[in-house]
Amino acid sequence: MTIPNTWLITGASSGLGLALTERALAAGHRVVATTRQGALPAQHPLLTVVRLDPADRQQCRRIVEEAQKVAGSLDVVVNNAGYGLVGAAEELSEEEARAILDVDLLGPLWLTQAALPLMRGQGSGHIVQISSTGGVGAMPMLGLYNAAKWGLEGFTEALASEVQPMGIRVTLVETGAMDTQWATSGMQFSAPNAAYDELREQLFGTPTVPWPSEPGATGGGTSPDDVADGILAHIAADDGPLRLVLGDGTADQIRMVLDRRQQDYATQPGFQSSAG
């Protein structure tokens, strides 16, 4: 039997955030869901929808206070809000670089900071950070997105050790491609430099950015509903890994990245095997 909890889910207007919201509600949990517009294509007696700019630290604190007022507790925080940015390092503007770090990296930090005093007082809670294979490896043209996710992984791994003695669990969800609009209408693009057109052609099949996409088109991949089901099962369990790997082919992608990294280190004297 599922014990009802109070969930706070950011970026809930579509994709994985919406799927998590719907799945948590169906399981009997109370959900405080945040979007930039304060609206959601769903209604439920246990659902509260609030507006949040995840880059605003004070707003994050107010949202946690509101969640506590609504339900008296806060059991699960899911930092899902974020976006992708296509652009070579040379192409990125200062505004673009700061904006994606504000949302994809600092946003989860601010909400985590806001939630921890409440969870610490309860002696329980679960912080869930939505990462991706982009938090393990890096891809040309996605460097600042990778930087944000690598940063998220770094501070979250440290966080897990900091709060485990307080009864607070922490999870990094590493997903591969999901069948959402993240890679199509949800993607942002830097102004292109022609010097990188050939690379764009190799990677994306076109040198043109933004690449054309039909209204409502998705990037293909694992259903967000399936990923949401995996997250709910992990949270309901008494224990589990820090890094939760979900989605078709995700483990293979991560294994490939780690193998390449190990091979790179192995070329250096300090990492060469002493056997033989």
**% the chain with pLDDT above 90:** 79
Q: Is pLDDT of 22 > 90? A: yes
Q: Is 175 helix (H, G, I), strand (E, B) or coil?
A: strand
pLDDT of residue 72: 87
Q: In this predicted model, what pLDDT tens digit does every residue of 87-103 receive, in sequence order?
A: 999 999 999 999 999 99
Residue 274's pLDDT band, with cuts at 50, 70 and 90, is low
Q: Which helix H or strand E contains 176, and what residues bound it? A: none
Compute the chain's Rg from CA coordinates.
19
CB 176 within 8 A of CB 221: yes
Q: What is the pLDDT of residues 118-153, one digit of tens each?
A: 999 999 999 999 999 999 999 999 999 999 999 999
Q: Catalytic annotation on 196?
A: no
105 DSSP 8-state letter: I
Catalytic site includes residue 145: yes
pLDDT at 241 over 90: yes
Contacts (Cβ under 8 Å, ≥6 apart) of 121: none
From the candidates 131, 132, 190, 196, give the one annotated as an active-site residue.
131
Tell me whether residue 131 is one of the annotated catalytic residues: yes
Q: Output the pLDDT for position 229.
A: 97
CA atoms within 13 A on the CB side of 136: 23
How many angstroms separate the CA atoms of 69 and 64, rounded?
A: 9
Could you tell me the sign of the dihedral formed by the alpha carbons of 177, 80, 238, 228, in that order? negative
159, 179, 180: which is closest to 170 by C-alpha? 159
Considering 13, 132, 145, 190, which one is annotated as catalytic?
145
* Window from 177-181, 204-208, 214-218, 244-248 with minimum mean pLDDT: 214-218
* Between 265 and 42, residue with greater pLDDT: 265
Per-residue model confidence as pLDDT tens digits over 35-80: 988 788 878 999 999 999 999 999 999 999 989 888 889 999 999 9
User: Cβ distance 77 to 111 under 8 Å?
Assistant: yes
What digits encode the pLDDT tens for the residues 195-236? Answer: 999 999 999 999 998 877 665 555 567 899 999 999 999 999
Catalytic option among 13, 73, 93, 149: 149
pLDDT of residue 216: 54
| Tokens standing for residue 160 | 């897990």
DSSP state for residue 134 in the 8-state scheme: G
